[in-house]
Amino acid sequence: MHVVMLLYPNLTQLDLTGPYEVFGRFPELTLDLVWKTRAPVADCRGLTILPTHDFADCPQADILFVPGGPGQLALMEDEEVLGFLRRQAAGARYVTSVCTGSLVLAAAGLLKGRRATCHWLSLDQLALLGAVPVAERVVVDGAVVTGAGVTSGIDFALALTAHIFGEARARHAQLFMEYDPAPPFPGGSPASSDPALVAQIRAETASFQTRRAETARRVAATLDQAAAGAGA
């Protein structure tokens, strides 16, 4: 099975590399890192990752995967990327994402009416694009499987591999990775954090979140126009 994992400038690498670590432990899965070209791609912290394929020579995905990150904003209006995702999704067995990667899938029109999750700061923006936001770590809606923010990528990949290969093998991978989270302090979600800290982070990201929401509204209008044209 081919796992086509989208690379793009300014992504959050853990959204990608967390699931990659899990998927790489299943020999039935071939992992393809794909971008427009094969030039190195830098994440939002400067880590460089090398694609294995470009869009032109990418094999058909059995599992299509999109990570999130600040660079997601540009992808939502990049027709070359959105067209690639639509073509791949048409033949994929599973369409998946972590963090704000779900906003990219939604911008491609792939989450209409689907239950999905996202990073907590952007969860409500899924509704602007026709998806049904769900505040859970991993959300499964048929062939669509989405993970919440950043670190949930490991949970997402373990849940998906358990579905495909059985829980016993996913448990084997989990133990081999020593995935037994024990954060040094509580508060890894808005529900478990000090409200003052949640408010601080919302304030720190308000400008960027406004841009995200504005982009989502523009994309939603474009999708509505396309739907209206198709129904005419």
Residues 85-100 have pLDDT tens digits of 999 999 999 999 999 9
Residues 146-183 have pLDDT tens digits of 999 999 999 999 999 999 999 999 999 999 999 999 99
Torsion of CA 73, 77, 78, 82, to 10 degrees: 100
Predicted TM-score of the model (pTM): 0.96
Which pLDDT belongs to residue 224?
86
Higher-confidence position of 229 and 113: 113
Which pLDDT belongs to residue 228?
81
Specify which residues 145 forms β-bridges with.
Answer: 96, 140
- What residues act catalytically? 99
Residue ranges covered by each domain of the chain: 2-231
Superfamily in which the 2-231 domain is placed by CATH: Class I glutamine amidotransferase (GATase) domain (3.40.50.880)
Tell me 29's DSSP state.
Answer: P
Which pLDDT belongs to residue 139?
98
| Main-chain dihedrals φ then ψ at residue 193, nearest 5 degrees | -100, 160
> Cα–Cα distance between 34 and 81 in angstroms, integer?
11
> Cα–Cα distance between 152 and 134 in angstroms, integer?
14
> Cα–Cα distance between 199 and 92 in angstroms, integer?
39
Indicate the helix (H) or strand (E) that contains 30.
strand 30-35
